[in-house]
Amino acid sequence: MELHAGLLTEKGGITICTRNSLGCSRCWRLFQLPLNISTRFKNPALPTEERVSNILRLMTLDEKTAALRTSTAVPRLGIPDAGSSEGLHGLVQRPLPGFGPQNAIPTTQFAQVVGMAQTWDKELIHRAGEIQGIEARFIYNNRAKYKKTPLIVWGPNADIARDPRWGRIDETYGEDPFFNGTMAAAFAKGIQGDDPENTGARRRC
């Protein structure tokens, strides 16, 4: 979808495109927003839900689709890429083939997920998630040094492992839905942290 950014202007409290004398109907639909709404998501004093809603209203369909890929950046809105990392049982920060020169970053590694499940200890799984979340935030906050931004963690895996022919059973907590959900939730909550505002020293992913 073409956005005529160089042709946008303000008219009657609405941002429109002046590609022709009537404006561009495509851009009119995309940018039919109050002029002061474009920076509301940058205000940390506003509720998170309001800020997220603001971003979604401002994003084009192409931008939303692009955010489903490996980069979450929205350059037009000044939103940087949060980055991502494999993280079923520890952040994977080793060099990956095909991505050019990279430096490995030492991180805490835990047992395979099916092995952690055998502890039957959701508090321990929660603690493992906490450590992973802290390390992800540390690397992100020091991205100038590490050149990595692993805030979106690919884990936990809440799939049910009921068929031994599936080759990734080791990535799950088992075949019981209740147990699997309990452990996966504990791990996810550990990664997210216990601060409802997700601020300060306890800020995670």
* pLDDT tens, the chain, 205 aa long: 344 544 555 544 444 455 543 345 444 444 444 444 467 898 888 998 999 999 999 999 999 999 888 888 998 888 989 888 989 999 988 877 776 777 889 999 999 999 999 999 999 999 999 999 999 999 999 989 988 889 889 999 999 988 888 888 899 999 999 999 999 999 999 998 877 665 544 556 6
Helix (H, G, I), strand (E, B) or coil at 71: coil
- Please check whether residues 114 and 169 belong to one and the same domain: yes
**Domain that residue 59 falls in:** 5-77
Single out the residue in 22, 47, 77 at which a domain terminates: 77
- Please check whether residues 96 and 153 belong to one and the same domain: yes
The reported pLDDT for the residue numbered 17 is: 52
The reported pLDDT for the residue numbered 55 is: 93
- Please check whether residues 41 and 96 belong to one and the same domain: no
- Please check whether residues 105 and 163 belong to one and the same domain: yes
Helix (H, G, I), strand (E, B) or coil at 112: coil
Cα-based angle 77, 82, 83 (whole degrees, multiple of 5)? 135
The reported pLDDT for the residue numbered 70 is: 80
The domain tally of the chain equals 2
- Please check whether residues 122 and 148 belong to one and the same domain: yes
> DSSP E strands: which ranges in the chain?
8-11, 14-17, 84-86, 152-154
- Please check whether residues 47 and 148 belong to one and the same domain: no
> pTM to 2 decimals?
0.71
- Please check whether residues 131 and 43 belong to one and the same domain: no
Q: Is 4 exposed, middle or buried (0-12, 13-18, 19+ CB in 10 A)?
A: middle
| Spatial distance between the Cα atoms of 147 and 149, rounded to a whole number of angstroms | 7
Alpha carbon of 17 to those of 59, 60, 62, 76, 113: distances in Å? 16, 15, 18, 16, 52
The reported pLDDT for the residue numbered 35 is: 43
The reported pLDDT for the residue numbered 148 is: 87
- Please check whether residues 45 and 131 belong to one and the same domain: no
- Please check whether residues 72 and 150 belong to one and the same domain: no
Alpha carbon of 114 to those of 58, 79, 127: distances in Å? 42, 37, 16
